[in-house]
Amino acid sequence: MREIVLDTETTGFEPQEGHRIVEIGAVELWNHLATGKTYHQYINPERGMPSDAFAVHGLGDEFLKEKPIFSKIVDDFLEFIGDDTLVIHNAKFDVKFLNAELDWCRRPKIISERAIDTLQIARRKFPGSPASLDALCRRFTIDNASRTLHGALLDSEILAEVYLELIGGRQPDFGLLHEASLSQMPLIEKQFTTSGKRPRELASRLTPPELKAHRDFVKKMGEEAIWNRVGPNKLNSI
- Tell me what the mean pLDDT of segment 79-95 comes to: 98
**How confident is residue 88, by pLDDT bands cut at 50, 70 and 90?**
very high
Task: Sheet with 2-10: list strands edge to edge.
Answer: 33-42, 21-30, 2-10, 85-88, 115-117
The per-residue pLDDT of the chain, averaged, comes to: 85
Residues 135 and 189 in one domain: no
Residues 220 and 193 in one domain: yes
In a domain, 103, yes or no: yes
In a domain, 199, yes or no: yes
Query: d(Cα 2, Cα 12) in Å, to the nearest integer?
Result: 30
Contact 142, 133 (CB under 8 A): no
- Tell me what the mean pLDDT of segment 82-108 comes to: 98
Catalytic residue among 32, 150, 178, 214: 150
In a domain, 22, yes or no: yes
The domain containing residue 220 runs over which residues? 184-235
In a domain, 116, yes or no: yes
pLDDT reported for residue 193: 44
Is the pLDDT score of 204 beyond 50? yes
In a domain, 76, yes or no: yes
Residues 156 and 198 in one domain: no
Residues 67 and 149 in one domain: yes
pLDDT reported for residue 63: 97
**Does the active-site annotation cover 40?**
no
Higher-confidence residue: 6 or 211? 6
C-alpha Rg value of the chain to the nearest Å: 21
pLDDT reported for residue 192: 42
Question: What's the whole-model pTM score?
Answer: 0.71
